[in-house]
C-alpha cells in the first residue's frame, strides 16, 4: 500500500496526538506515585457525570467552588483516604486540589468543602491550600482527573505536602494503596460572542 505525502503527514500527526495524550495521562498520580491498588472504588459527583462538562460554578471564572464528591466504601483495612485532582492537558500534571488525612469512614466531600470544612490540604498550582477550579485558556477542553486513594497506613502527613511527598511517606512507613477510583471532569471555556 502506497500512501500519498498528505496521507503520511496526516497519519503522523494523528499518531503524535495519540501518543501525546497517552504520555500525559501516564503522568497522573495514579500512574506515578500511587501506582498500586485496584480500581475498585467508584468516585462520582452529583454535579457532573464522568467524562462530561463541569458546570461553570466550579471554575475560577465561576464561583471557584469545589464540587461535591462521593465514593464507595473501600476494602477492609483502609486507614486513610487521599484525594488528588490534576489536569494533564498541558502535558504535565497540574495540581488543582490535594486533600489528605481523610478519615477512613468519610466517603464524601460536600460542595465547597475546600473552604467550608477543616481539611488537610496541600498547595495547588497557585500556591494556595484549597480548590483551584479550572481556568483553561485558548478554547481547548481540559480534562480534570479526580482520583481517590485508599491507604492501608495512616501516614504522618504534614502541611504543604505534594503527591510525591505523601507517596514517599507512605513508602517510608511500608504502606500501600489498597484501592483507588477516578472521575474525569471536562471543562472548556465558552466561546466569546462576536
Whether domain 5-187 has CATH 3.90.180.10: no
Residue-range domain boundaries for the chain: 5-187
**pLDDT given at position 9:** 40
Q: Model confidence over 116-132: pLDDT tens digits?
A: 999 999 999 999 999 99
Contacts of 84 (CB under 8 A, 6+ apart): 29, 34, 95, 97, 98, 145, 146, 147, 149, 163
Contacts of 179 (CB under 8 A, 6+ apart): 37, 38, 39, 40, 41, 74, 75, 78, 149, 150
| Length of the chain counted residue by residue | 194
C-alpha 140/C-alpha 147 separation (Å) is 22
Residue segments in the chain with a per-residue pLDDT below the cut of 70? 1-23, 194
Grid cell 497519519 is found at: 11
If you write DSSP's letter for every residue of 150-166 in order, what string do you get? Answer: EESS-----TT--HHHH
**Contact between 133 and 96 (Cβ < 8 Å):** yes
**pLDDT given at position 2:** 55
C-alpha 30/C-alpha 94 separation (Å) is 14
Q: Model confidence over 45-63: pLDDT tens digits?
A: 999 999 999 999 999 999 9
Amino acid at each position: 500500500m502506497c500512501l500519498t505525502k498528505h496521507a503520511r503527514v496526516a497519519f503522523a500527526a494523528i499518531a503524535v496526538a495519540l501518543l501525546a495524550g497517552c504520555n500525559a495521562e501516564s503522568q497522573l498520580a495514579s500512574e506515578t506515585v500511587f501506582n498500586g491498588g485496584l480500581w475498585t472504588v467508584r468516585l462520582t459527583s452529583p454535579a457532573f457525570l464522568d467524562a462530561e462538562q463541569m458546570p461553570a460554578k466550579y471554575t475560577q471564572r465561576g464561583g471557584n467552588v469545589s464540587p461535591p464528591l462521593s465514593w464507595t466504601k473501600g476494602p477492609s483495612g483502609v486507614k486513610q483516604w487521599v484525594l488528588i485532582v490534576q489536569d494533564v492537558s498541558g502535558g504535565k500534571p497540574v495540581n488543582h486540589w490535594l486533600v489528605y488525612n481523610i478519615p477512613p469512614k468519610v466517603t464524601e466531600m460536600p460542595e465547597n468543602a475546600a473552604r467550608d470544612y477543616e481539611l488537610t490540604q496541600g498547595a495547588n498550582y497557585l500556591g494556595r491550600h484549597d480548590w483551584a477550579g479550572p481556568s483553561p485558556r485558548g478554547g481547548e477542553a481540559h480534562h480534570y482527573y479526580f482520583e481517590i486513594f485508599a491507604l492501608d497506613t495512616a501516614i504522618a502527613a504534614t502541611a504543604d505536602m505534594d503527591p510525591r511527598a505523601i507517596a514517599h511517606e507512605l513508602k517510608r512507613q511500608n504502606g500501600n494503596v489498597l484501592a483507588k477510583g477516578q472521575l474525569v471532569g471536562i471543562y472548556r471555556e465558552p466561546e466569546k460572542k462576536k
